[in-house]
């Protein structure tokens, strides 16, 4: 039996019952754990945890991630700027320099803005108060219904519904038959991602379109393996516009959400359940593509 690929699935916030704690990603976790190779062996060993701090304000797992046996980090950045310490960022950066794969996702406005402190993949995330989208014409509301959430807040649809995406011919976005993935879970206010300046190994591989303005926006930026200035072969990475593509509530509205979510959900998850197969396939592709084992 081949050794399992080890994935750390983690939030940047401590546990709170009325928040997007790691338990709200149970369907993602179960799907990853269910995947098997041709011999019926489980492929992925998935560890789930919320942020924890030691006496110095560091997360002991993230700060020493480079010295662990994890192959991948799936980081759900749900903080408002204080979710990663300097030591955490150094541990994550060294982890990628050692070949580890990273998926980093966030949401609207400044949610997940601690990612700004990460090099490479962090630079692909744009926020409201810092590291804004280079195109200043985008510094305005897209979703005008939820007024307590400011830009970036791209409206791809209601939670529980699906958005049509435009996928490129990339391994992350291919179905088993070779056709391209068409659907992602929708969300009323997604964040912003893009290719950082002077990053030849990164490209936009999927875009969406706003239901309110018709404007296109980036959903996924993929970073291929690349050698840095120190000769390290850095692992692959994915910068994703919203964690709502992966959270339980957007896969099954019946699993509920924190009480601060005020938008009325849609029902396409019930009417078109087969569309969820596309995001599950993306998850499978991402886990395989990010692995530091060829």
Quote the pLDDT of residue 120.
85
The pLDDT score that the predictor gives to residue 230 is: 85
pLDDT of residue 293: 65
Longest CA–CA span in the chain (Å) reads: 53
Show pLDDT as tens, one digit a residue, over the chain (294 residues): 478 999 999 999 999 999 999 999 999 999 999 999 999 999 999 999 999 999 999 999 999 999 999 999 999 999 999 999 999 999 999 999 999 999 999 999 999 999 999 988 999 999 999 999 999 999 999 999 999 999 999 999 999 999 999 999 999 999 999 999 999 999 999 999 999 988 899 999 999 999 999 999 999 999 999 988 888 899 999 999 999 999 999 999 999 999 999 999 999 999 999 999 999 999 999 999 999 765
What pLDDT does 116 receive? 94
Which residue in 152, 111, 155 sits closest to 243, CA to CA? 111
pLDDT at 148: 93
Q: CB-side exposure of 244: number of CA atoms within 13 Å?
A: 31
**What domain count does the chain have?**
1
- 54 C-beta neighbours (distance < 10 Å), count: 11
Instruction: Identify the pLDDT of residue 294.
Output: 58
End-to-end, the C-alpha distance of the chain in Å comes to 16
User: What gap in Å lies between CA 243 and CA 32, rounded to an integer?
Assistant: 16
Task: Name the residue range of residue 151's domain.
Answer: 5-290
Residue 228 pLDDT: 84
Q: Give Cα separations from 24 to 30, 48, 82, 169 (angstroms).
A: 11, 11, 21, 31
CATH value at residue 100: 3.40.50.880
Of 262, 292, 286, whose CA–CA distance to 105 is shortest? 286
């Amino acid at each position: 039996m081949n050794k399992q690929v080890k994935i750390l699935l983690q939030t940047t916030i401590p546990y709170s019952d009325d928040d997007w704690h790691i338990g709200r990603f149970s369907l993602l976790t179960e799907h990853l754990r269910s995947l098997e190779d041709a011999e019926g062996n489980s492929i992925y060993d998935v560890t789930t945890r919320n942020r924890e701090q030691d006496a110095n304000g560091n997360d002991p797992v993230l700060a020493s991630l480079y010295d662990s046996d994890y192959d991948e980090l799936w980081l759900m950045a749900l903080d408002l700027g204080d979710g990663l310490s300097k030591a955490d960022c150094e541990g994550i950066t060294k982890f990628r320099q050692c070949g580890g794969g990273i998926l980093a996702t966030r949401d609207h406005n400044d949610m997940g803005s601690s990612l700004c402190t990460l090099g490479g993949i962090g630079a692909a995330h744009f926020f409201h108060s810092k590291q804004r989208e280079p195109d200043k014409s985008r510094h305005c509301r897209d979703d005008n219904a939820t007024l307590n959430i400011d830009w970036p807040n791209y409206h791809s649809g209601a939670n529980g519904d699906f958005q049509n995406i435009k996928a490129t011919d990339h391994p992350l976005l291919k179905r088993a038959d070779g056709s391209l993935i068409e659907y992602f879970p929708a969300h009323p206010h997604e964040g912003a991602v893009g290719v950082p300046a002077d990053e030849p190994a990164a490209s936009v591989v999927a875009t969406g379109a706003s239901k309110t303005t018709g404007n296109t926006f980036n959903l996924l930026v993929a970073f291929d393996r690349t050698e840095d200035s120190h000769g390290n072969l850095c692992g692959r990475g994915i910068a994703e516009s919203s964690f709502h593509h992966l959270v339980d509530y957007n896969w099954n509205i019946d699993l509920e959400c924190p009480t601060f979510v005020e938008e009325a959900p849609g029902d396409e998850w019930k009417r078109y359940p087969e569309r969820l197969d596309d995001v599950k396939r993306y998850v499978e592709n991402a886990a395989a593509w990010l692995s530091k084992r060829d």
